[in-house]
């Protein structure tokens, strides 16, 4: 009996205008979007490779005794585009194109959206947008009148007057409509994947294929959630027009408004500094320390040369020959006096360097705590809707989301620590007379590669979003059945 009802529901949807609209959108949008996404990825990859070549970090060298301006970027960690950005661009264009290493801290290069900012006024079109926005609306259009339409037409009372269990009737509505929906979706997606492979996309690689399959499963689960939402609305209302208006309203709030309101509210609940203000604060701290250091160095300098002048023999005559002999005697030991002065200044220099490092680390820790708290509040508030869970989960699977961003900045911190050990801590600012030798030259420390997480680790990090999508699907479906069982037909 269930199969007969499912077949009836399938035929009902196939003969409707909604199915035609779904079929056209799937066949046109999915392959086109994937093809355009792959072309963008190829262009971004070429730009990345050319930029790395121009940076020419491999040949960079430095002599610590030559000094180094605090604001000078001695090296850059570039962000490599992710292959799976074909499916979800995520934070790829919003993240800084590189992290610059300076003695004052880490600077950030302009993100890609700066050079292509006008297109972002209209939004970004990718597979994630299609699933999260377009197909979620179509799912509601497939189910808003599943029960309300039959109740309004009077066919529901006739159907249930026979010995037909209500649960079978509702299951046929859900399963039949869902099958009609996902078959064109999967066929179009398969065609889109074939187009990608034809263009050269490495779909068969072990790090890519399982993630694409996981992405498909997540998309089907998300569509199922909106089928459940539409069914709940249909069981609670008797009029199909009212159900359509309510379904569209729920979609607007669930997809367009609530995910954005969460982070807007977080900025008021947990405000924080901007990254630029943090960098300026570090710069001001260094300038203050340098001013204080120069003042103390000047005192040491004056006292040193004053004591030296008392101990030096004075010329017995004012002839040029006698003065020249006295000066020669003064510097007879080469750079002895300056070396002795450097030894007096070196502990003071090291003391101030350590003070700056402690102050800069404290500024950085405070900023990270504030930022993490604000982001946590925003994530909690945005997860009220399943769309946010889809976005977080999908961007983690495609390595273009929060996990990629955190890995990027953590790698930058590790690279900065390595440069601080090999370079910045060896820079000598206090040398009175510099003697540059070839053996003092230090080879540039190479930027480390970004670590990639396995699929298991990614799913573990996204377990909250997976459980939330399952929770929404189960709870909403259960609510629809409970309401339908108690309804007075």
The answer, yes or no, to whether residue 324 has pLDDT greater than 60, is no
The string of pLDDT tens digits covering residues 263-322 is: 888 888 888 888 778 888 888 888 887 888 788 777 777 776 677 666 655 555 555 555
Residue, of 435 and 60, whose pLDDT is higher: 60
| Per-residue confidence (pLDDT) for residue 175, from 0 to 100 | 92
| Per-residue confidence (pLDDT) for residue 68, from 0 to 100 | 65
Residue, of 375 and 430, whose pLDDT is higher: 375
Alpha-carbon gap, residue 146 to 91, rounded angstroms:
38
Alpha-carbon gap, residue 130 to 124, rounded angstroms:
10
Quick one: pLDDT band at residue 137, thresholds 50, 70, 90? very high
Q: Which residues pair with 61 in a beta bridge?
A: 443
User: For the whole model, what pTM was predicted?
Assistant: 0.81
Quick one: pLDDT band at residue 118, thresholds 50, 70, 90? low
Alpha-carbon gap, residue 333 to 255, rounded angstroms:
79
Residue 376 corresponds to which tokens in the numbers above? 């946590």
| Per-residue confidence (pLDDT) for residue 309, from 0 to 100 | 66
Residue 309, φ and ψ in degrees, nearest 5: -65, -30
Residue with tokens 């959630």: 225
Residue 489 corresponds to which tokens in the numbers above? 């037909």
The string of pLDDT tens digits covering residues 17-55 is: 888 989 999 999 999 999 999 999 999 899 888 888 887
Quick one: pLDDT band at residue 439, thresholds 50, 70, 90? very low
| Per-residue confidence (pLDDT) for residue 314, from 0 to 100 | 52
Instruction: Give the range among 149-158, 182-191, 256-265, 419-428 with minimum mean pLDDT.
Output: 419-428
Alpha-carbon gap, residue 460 to 214, rounded angstroms:
13
CA-nearest of 128, 99, 126, 123 to 113 is 123
The string of pLDDT tens digits covering residues 65-89 is: 555 677 777 888 899 999 999 999 9
C-alpha dihedral sign at 396, 401, 402, 407: positive
The answer, yes or no, to whether residue 452 has pLDDT greater than 80, is yes
Alpha-carbon gap, residue 178 to 230, rounded angstroms:
12
| Per-residue confidence (pLDDT) for residue 464, from 0 to 100 | 94
Cβ neighbours of 344 (radius 10 Å): 14
Residue 290 corresponds to which tokens in the numbers above? 């340098």
The answer, yes or no, to whether residue 343 has pLDDT greater than 80, is no
Quick one: pLDDT band at residue 398, thresholds 50, 70, 90? very high
| Per-residue confidence (pLDDT) for residue 163, from 0 to 100 | 77
| Per-residue confidence (pLDDT) for residue 310, from 0 to 100 | 63
User: Is the distance from CB of 24 to CB of 188 less than 8 angstroms?
Assistant: no
Quick one: pLDDT band at residue 334, thresholds 50, 70, 90? very low
CA-nearest of 99, 101, 98, 96 to 71 is 101
| Per-residue confidence (pLDDT) for residue 477, from 0 to 100 | 93
In the predicted model, what is the mean pLDDT of the chain? Answer: 83
| Per-residue confidence (pLDDT) for residue 92, from 0 to 100 | 82
Give the rounded percent of residues in the chain with a pLDDT score beyond 70. Answer: 83
Alpha-carbon gap, residue 191 to 179, rounded angstroms:
18
């Amino acid at each position: 009996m269930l199969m007969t009802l499912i077949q009836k529901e399938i035929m009902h949807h196939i003969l409707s205008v909604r199915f035609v609209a779904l079929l056209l959108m799937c066949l046109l949008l999915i392959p086109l979007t994937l093809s355009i996404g792959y072309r963008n990825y190829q262009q971004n990859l070429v730009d990345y490779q050319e930029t790395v070549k121009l940076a020419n970090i491999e040949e960079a060298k430095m002599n610590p005794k030559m000094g180094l301006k605090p604001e000078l970027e001695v090296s850059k960690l570039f962000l490599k585009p992710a292959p799976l950005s074909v499916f979800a661009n995520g934070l790829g264009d919003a993240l800084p194109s590189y992290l610059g290493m300076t003695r004052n801290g880490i600077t950030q290069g302009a993100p890609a959206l700066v050079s292509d900012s006008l297109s972002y006024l209209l939004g970004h079109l990718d597979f994630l947008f299609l699933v999260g926005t377009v197909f979620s609306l179509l799912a509601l259009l497939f189910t808003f009148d599943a029960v309300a339409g039959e109740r309004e037409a009077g066919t529901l009372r006739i159907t249930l007057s026979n010995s037909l269990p209500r649960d079978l009737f509702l299951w046929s509505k859900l399963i039949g409509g869902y099958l009609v929906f996902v078959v064109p979706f999967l066929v179009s997606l398969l065609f889109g994947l074939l187009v990608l492979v034809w263009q050269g996309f490495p779909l068969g690689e072990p790090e890519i294929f399982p993630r694409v399959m996981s992405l498909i499963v997540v998309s089907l689960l998300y569509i199922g959630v909106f089928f459940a939402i539409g069914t709940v609305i249909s069981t609670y209302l008797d009029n199909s027009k009212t159900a359509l208006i309510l379904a569209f309203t729920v979609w607007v709030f669930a997809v367009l408004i609530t995910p954005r309101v969460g982070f807007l509210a977080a900025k008021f609940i947990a405000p924080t500094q901007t990254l630029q203000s943090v960098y300026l604060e570090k710069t001001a701290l260094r300038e203050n320390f340098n001013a204080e250091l120069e003042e103390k160095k000047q005192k040491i300098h004056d006292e040193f040369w004053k004591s030296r002048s008392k101990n030096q023999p004075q010329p017995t005559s004012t002839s040029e020959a006698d003065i020249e002999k006295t000066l020669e005697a003064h510097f007879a030991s080469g750079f002895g006096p300056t070396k002795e002065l450097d030894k007096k200044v070196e502990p003071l220099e090291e003391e101030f360097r350590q003070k700056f490092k402690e102050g800069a680390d404290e500024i950085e820790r405070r900023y990270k705590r504030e930022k993490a708290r604000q982001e946590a509040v925003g994530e909690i508030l945005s997860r009220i809707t399943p769309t946010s869970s889809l976005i977080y989960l999908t961007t983690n699977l495609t390595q273009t989301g929060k996990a990629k961003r955190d890995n990027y900045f953590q790698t930058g911190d590790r690279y900065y620590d390595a440069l601080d050990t090999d370079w910045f801590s060896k820079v000598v600012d206090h040398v009175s007379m510099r003697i540059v030798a070839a053996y003092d030259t230090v080879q540039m420390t190479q930027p480390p590669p970004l670590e990639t997480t396995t699929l298991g680790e990614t799913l573990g990090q996204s377990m909250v979003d997976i459980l939330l999508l399952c929770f929404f699907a189960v709870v909403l479906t259960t609510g629809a059945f409970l309401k339908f069982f108690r309804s007075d037909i």
